């Protein structure tokens, strides 16, 4: 597999600084554990040199250097699709309510494009800072199996892509929130309710 550039520009600076710092710290009074730390530092510097972190792909992190909105230079990209066994107009009508869009965090969403039954696009600002933007594309599933909703969400991660890795490991990352929102939409449209266990009994924790 060819190596793909997946570090953000800001990360590369951080990787070089962090990696060299680790090596310098280890070199002052060498020991075996410190040698391992120095090795890790060297690996960070190497990643900065190649511009590629091999852990990102398994974590589903994708860096996008050509964001759909020109206001930001680089974003992380989440792409997800789901098939919902309901007609396209009904699925579109659901997502046309801004609170149903697979947005991230608590930001107000501005819908910037709305082509009925075809596409919805939005962006989220806090003050004048761009948090994320995204779009949904609607098309008929082949074989009359309902509607495919393809989501594309781009965001500027707090703390660069390293911050994104931490968020991913902690759980509440866009890579989780977007598919969860799509699944919730499917459940509501197909069954009339979203599955939950919140409020059920459990024994002593």
Task: List residues binding other proteins (CB under 8 A).
Answer: 83, 85, 145-146, 176, 179-180, 183, 186-187, 190-205
Q: Between residues 65 and 145, which has the closer beta carbon with respect to other proteins?
A: 145
Residues across the chain: 205
Query: In whole angstroms, how far apart are CA 122 and each of 23, 155, 163, 177?
Result: 45, 12, 24, 16
* Closest distance of CB 77 from other proteins, Å: 18
Write out the H or E segment, with its range, that includes residue 62. strand 62-64
Q: Between residues 57 and 65, which has the closer beta carbon with respect to other proteins?
A: 57
Query: What phi and psi, each to the nearest 5 degrees, are found at residue 166?
Result: -60, -45
* Closest distance of CB 40 from other proteins, Å: 25
Q: Between residues 19 and 146, which has the closer beta carbon with respect to other proteins?
A: 146
Q: Between residues 58 and 70, which has the closer beta carbon with respect to other proteins?
A: 58
Q: Between residues 85 and 108, which has the closer beta carbon with respect to other proteins?
A: 85
* Closest distance of CB 131 from other proteins, Å: 22
Q: Identify the residue whose tokens are 């596409």.
A: 119
Q: Between residues 33 and 58, which has the closer beta carbon with respect to other proteins?
A: 58
Enter the DSSP assignment of 145.
Answer: -
Q: Identify the residue whose tokens are 């600076």.
A: 13
Packing angle, helices 174-191 and 160-170, rounded to 10 = 50
End-to-end CA distance of the chain: 46
* Closest distance of CB 76 from other proteins, Å: 18
* Residues 120/94, Cβ–Cβ less than 8 Å: no
Return the C-alpha torsion angle 116, 119, 124, 130, nearest 10. -140
């Amino acid at each position: 597999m060819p190596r793909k550039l997946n570090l953000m520009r800001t990360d590369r600076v951080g990787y070089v600084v962090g990696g060299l710092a680790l090596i310098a710290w280890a070199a002052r009074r060498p020991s075996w554990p410190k040698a391992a730390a120095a090795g890790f530092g060297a690996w960070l510097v190497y990643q900065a040199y190649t511009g590629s972190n091999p852990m990102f792909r398994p974590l589903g992190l994708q860096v996008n250097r050509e964001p759909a909105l020109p206001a930001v230079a680089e974003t992380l990209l989440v792409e997800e699709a789901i098939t919902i066994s309901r007609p396209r107009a009904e699925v579109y009508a659901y997502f046309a309510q801004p609170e149903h869009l697979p947005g991230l965090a608590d930001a107000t969403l501005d819908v910037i494009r709305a082509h009925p039954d075809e596409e919805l696009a939005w962006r989220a600002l806090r003050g004048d800072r761009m948090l994320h933007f995204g779009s949904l594309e609607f098309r008929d599933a082949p074989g009359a199996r309902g509607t495919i909703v393809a989501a594309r969400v781009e965001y500027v991660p707090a703390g660069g892509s390293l911050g994104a890795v931490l968020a991913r490991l902690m759980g509440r990352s866009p890579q989780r929130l977007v598919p969860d929102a799509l699944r919730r939409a499917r459940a509501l449209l197909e069954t009339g309710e979203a599955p939950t266990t919140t409020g059920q009994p459990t024994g002593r924790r």
